[in-house]
Amino acid sequence: MSEGLYSLMLRLYPAQFRVRYADAAMELFRDRSRDEVGFIARLRLWLDITRDLAISLPKAYWQAQPALAAQATEMPLPTPGFQVLPSTGLRRLAFFYAVTASLLMFGSLFLWVGYGRNQLMTMASAYRAEPKMHAHASAPAPTAEWTTIESRESSERASLAIAATQAAAGSRPGEAKVMNATEAMVEAIGAHQIVMFGEAHANKQEYEWLCELVKTPAFAERVDDIVVEFGNSLYQKTVDRYIAGEDVPVEQVQKAWRNMIGAVGPVSPVYGWFYKAVRESNLERHGGHKIRLLLGDPYGDWEKINNAEGLGPYVAHRDQWYAQVVKDEVLAQHHRALLIMGAGHFLRRGGPGAVEQVIRAGGVQPYLVVLGTNVVGGYDDLDRRFDSWPLPAIAALSGNWVGDLPAMPVVSGGLAAPNSLKMADAADAMLYLGPRDALMAVNVPRIELVDTAYGKEIARRLMIQTGREMLFTQEPETPQFQKPAQQTIGQGVGARHAPPNPPKSINDPLPPRPPSQ
Amino acid sequence: MPKRKLDPLPSAAFQILLSLVDGDLHGYAIMRQVEEQTNGRMRLGPGTLYSSIQALLDEGLIEEIGPGSRSQGAAERRRLYRLTSSGRKLARSEAERLADLLRVARTKNILRGEHV
């Protein structure tokens, strides 16, 4: 309770201060709370904290001014209305009035958003938990595609560090303020305990950027865990050793992503890039803070799965297992984490998805970023306003034209038709990596599939998952969002077709977890 | 010439410099040290403490020593701060300025009892 309240108070500080000192300030608060027990001591602590807030807040904003100005000159933003701060600074009295007014306004807002709203959401989640599980169990079986999209409930929005920074940078109503994507993620992970990223699977530009992100010291020093969809939990122990820098043969490590339960067809090499990047990030910061890669895919063992009945329980509980990993390894440990999963799992379709519900029930408001494109209607309906965005970019979605765009075509590259879901309802921010037609998916080289043990194993799995044979047609790279007429499932799997009937075991609970390998 | 952030040196910043004279400390230890050296009159809150630390870092009066590894305990993972030679020089100069003030106050007989 006390920590939550102080955490809200910390949000009043400028983003620069929070990014650098929020954790330390919280740690100091915890230390004092631990050492100063009893009514009088606690009263004195809160008096100190309140007085400290009143004194230090203007100072923190005052110190933030030059950096904001510097940032403004560095960012090649396309919009002419961007305000560069005057070199003479503000009059102290004017600044004092502005801070006081902001304190009153934002204090009320944050208390409402962070507390009242969160309490309501927690109660709502608890109320919905049982029916949701039941509904899931009796629902038609999910398709074996790992881009499966599930139904979502109730809507809400989080107030964001990026939005605050953009507001501070002087955006006009309706304008989208874009930030350098890496800087935006550093801000986000500083301001939010959990940042969720909804990815487009196998995307080259996306994973090039993610690899750069995890090697960015300001990000790497802040994030404790990265929870990924593209890793079978069965291999957590092996991956822990690899990520920690031990010599682990690649054949062992790659089982983590190649043996995913959720994958259909050969698994893109981009995931191997990412594992390697996290390992290198830890090694480069020798003796520093270590990132842990947590595997969120269910622990089904493909060596023991011989038919659809054996696969069913694992496929049916992919979101639930991922959420369990987040609950046990991140929330229970009070860690700061980046969560990566297909955008279809994370999108808020009328409300938070299964994973986000668990996070919110744990009292944490996550920040959701999804990959978006410049497609805003039909497949060829491109929005030229994105052309001037610097790359890679992230823009918060609340209160601007990007947030008003129909979410489905934007996140699917025009493959899904628009409906009533707006971007601002579906996520908090959008990652933009370039025009839809420039985005490429990276495929497993044909030479690694034809007449190889891996190729034969993938063909066997495909038969279990889809009842179809694999077609070795893919190029090393293919357009991420091909026109529907050219569309294929996964990587060279063949033309899109209806999924097979679900196995009966789809309603079974997850089997007990075996020891990690 | 731009005005320096710490000119004049705020009381909190001076106390932080003094707290670091005997060795490197992390944020909470600085807060406790300041409380002790001011007989409980100054308890730096997190906002004041870290704003002051940032200003001192910007002016090169203290330096940050990176946190330890995750394998170490929580206390060892915290950022430590160290007084630089410029910081020590400024602390000495500020102490001398205050000593001068004290001498003036004494000559004016405005101090009483044990403080004289």
Question: Does A452 reach chain B within 8 Å, measured CB to CB?
Answer: no
Beta-carbon separation of B5 and A24 below 8 A: no
Q: Which of A59, A87, A114 is the last residue of a domain?
A: A114
Does one domain contain both A74 and A185? no
Can you give the CATH number for the domain in which A192 is found?
A: 3.40.50.11550
CA angle in degrees (0–180, nearest 5) for A356-A361-A365 = 60
Exposed e or buried b for every residue in A182-191, given b needs 16+ CB within 10 A? Answer: bbbbbbbbbb
Do residue A367 and residue A477 come from a single domain? no
Give the length of chain B. Answer: 116
In-domain check, residue A133:
no
Residue A88 in domain: yes
CB contact under 8 A, B70 and A290: yes
Residue A471 φ then ψ, to 5°: -110, 125
Is B31 in the A-facing interface, judged by CB distances under 8 Å? yes
* Residues comprising chain A, all counted: 517
B2 touches chain A (CB under 8 A): no
Q: Are residues A491 and A433 in the same domain?
A: no
What's the per-residue H, E or C state across A137-158? HHCCCCCCCCCCCCCCCCCCCC
**Single-letter amino acid, residue B8:** P
* Shortest Cα–Cα distance, B26 to chain A (Å): 9
Q: Give the tokens for residue A27.
A: 């740690």
Domain range enclosing A97: 2-114
Asked whether the beta carbons of B91 and B74 are under 8 A apart, the reply is: no
ipTM score here? 0.82
pLDDT tens, residue order, chain A (517 aa): 677 788 888 888 887 788 788 888 888 888 888 878 788 888 888 888 888 888 888 877 776 655 444 443 333 333 333 333 434 445 566 667 677 777 777 666 655 554 444 444 434 433 333 333 333 333 333 333 333 323 333 333 333 445 545 544 445 558 888 999 999 999 999 999 999 999 999 999 999 999 999 999 999 999 999 999 999 999 999 999 999 999 999 999 999 999 999 898 999 999 999 999 999 999 998 777 899 999 999 999 999 999 999 999 999 899 999 999 999 999 999 999 999 999 999 999 989 999 999 999 988 999 999 999 999 999 999 999 999 999 999 999 999 999 999 999 999 999 999 999 999 999 999 999 999 999 999 999 888 888 899 999 999 999 998 888 877 666 889 999 988 765 444 444 444 455 567 777 877 888 888 888 8
> Nearest CA to A164 among A75, A29, A55, A64?
A64
Residue B10 touches chain A, beta carbons under 8 Å: no
**How many domains is chain A partitioned into structurally?**
3
A63/B5 CB distance under 8 A: yes
- The helix/strand/coil state of A195 is strand
Q: How far is A168 from chain B (nearest CA, A)?
A: 19
Cβ pair B27:A48 closer than 8 A: no
Q: Which of A53, A288, A290 sits opposite B47 (nearest CB)?
A: A53
Tell me if A93 is assigned to some domain: yes
Dihedral-angle region of residue B44 (phi above 0 means left; psi in -120 to 50 means alpha; beta otherwise): beta
Flag whether residue A284 sits within 8 Å of chain B, measured between CB atoms: no
Residue A337 shares a structural domain with residue A478: no
pLDDT at A100: 77
Q: Given an 8 Å threshold on Cβ–Cβ distance, is A24 in contact with B66?
A: no
Whole-angstrom Cα distance, residue A227 to residue A346?
13
Predicted local distance difference test score (pLDDT) of residue A173: 57
A410 and A474: one domain?
A: no
Same domain, A376 and A471: no
Non-local CB neighbours of B103 within 8 Å, separated by 6+ positions: none
Does the beta carbon of A289 lie under 8 angstroms from any beta carbon of chain B?
yes
Residue A57 is nearest to which of B47, B49, B68, comparing CB atoms? Answer: B47
Cβ(B82)–Cβ(B65) under 8 Å?
yes
Cβ contact A27–B49 (<8 Å): no
Residues A492 and A423 in one domain: no
**Count of CB atoms within 10 A of residue A29's CB?**
22
Answer yes or no: is A152 within a domain: no
For B50, the closest of A25, A53, A55 (CB atoms) is: A25
| Domain range list for chain B | 11-115
Strand partners, A98: none
Total CB pairs under 8 A between chain A and B: 75
Q: How many CB atoms lie within 10 A of CB A5?
A: 15
Both A372 and A455 in one domain: the answer is no
Residue of A28, A34, A62, A335 to mutate, interface with B, max B Cβ within 10 Å? A28
Mutate: best of B11, B25, B30, B51, partner A, most A CBs <10 A: B51
A61 at the B interface (CB within 8 A)? no
- CA A17 to CA B58: how far, in whole Å? 13
Q: How far is B11 from chain A (nearest CA, A)?
A: 13
Distance, in Å, from the CA atom of A327 to the CA atom of B42, rounded to the nearest integer, reads 40
A171 found inside a domain: no
Contacts of A56 in chain B (CB under 8 A): 45, 47-48, 51
Residue A49 has its nearest CB partner, among B45, B55, B70, at B45
Q: Say whether pLDDT at B93 is over 50.
A: yes
Q: What are phi and psi of A266, to 5 degrees?
A: -60, 140
Q: What residues in B contact A60, CB-CB < 8 Å? A: 47, 51
CA distance B45 to chain A (A): 5
Indicate whether A459 belongs to any domain: yes
Q: How far is CA A401 from CA A41, A174, A176, A351, A395, in A?
A: 50, 5, 6, 21, 11
How is residue A299 written in tokens? 């622990």
Asked if A124 is an interface residue toward chain B (Cβ–Cβ < 8 A), one would say no
Within an 8 Å CB–CB cutoff, is residue B50 touching chain A?
A: yes
| Residues whose CB is less than 8 angstroms from the CB of residue A130 and which lie 6 or more positions away in sequence, other chains included | none
CATH number of B11-115: 1.10.10.10
Phi, psi of A70 (to 5 degrees): -65, -40
- In this structure, are residues A491 and A477 in contact, taking their beta carbons and an 8 Å threshold? no
CA–chain centroid gap for A80, Å, is 31
The alpha carbon of A211 is separated from its chain's Cα centroid by a whole number of angstroms, namely 14
Q: Are A349 and A470 found together in one domain?
A: no
CA distance A60 to chain B (A): 6
Shared domain for A499 and A435, answered yes or no, is: no
Can you tell me the distance from the alpha carbon of A378 to that of A360, in angstroms, rounded to the nearest whole number? 34
Distance of alpha carbon A122 from alpha carbon B22, whole angstroms: 49
Residue A7, chain B, CB below 8 Å: the answer is: no
Whether chain B has a CB inside 8 Å of the CB on A48: the answer is yes
Verify whether the Cβ–Cβ distance A55 to B48 is below 8 Å: yes
How close, in Å, is residue B67 to chain A by CA atoms? 7
B83, with CB counted inside 10 A (0-12, 13-18, 19+), is buried
What does the pLDDT read at residue B77?
57
What would the pLDDT profile of B26-44 be if each residue is shown by its tens digit?
A: 898 999 999 989 888 898 9
A142 falls within a domain: no
Select the residue from A27, A42, A57 to test the B interface by mutation, using most B Cβ atoms within 10 A: A27
In a domain, residue A141? The reply is: no
Instruction: Give me the residue from B27, B45, B54 closest to A48, CB to CB.
Output: B45
A20 touches chain B (CB under 8 A): yes
Percent of chain B whose pLDDT exceeds 70: 81
Q: Which of B28, B55, B79 is opposite residue A31, by nearest beta carbon?
A: B28
Task: Kindly state whether residues A87 and A209 are assigned to the same domain.
Answer: no
- Final residue of a structural domain among A62, A83, A114: A114
Å from A171 to nearest chain B CA? 27
Whether B45 and A20 lie within 8 Å, measured CB to CB: no
CA separation for the pair A68, A57 (Å, rounded): 16
The pTM (predicted TM-score) of the whole model is: 0.58
Last residue of a domain, one of A72, A88, A114: A114
Instruction: Tell me: do A342 and A220 sit in the same domain.
Output: yes
Q: How far is A218 from chain B (nearest CA, A)?
A: 12
Contact (CB, 8 A) for A296 and A228:
yes
Q: If DSSP codes are grouped into helix, strand and coil, which group holds residue B8?
A: coil
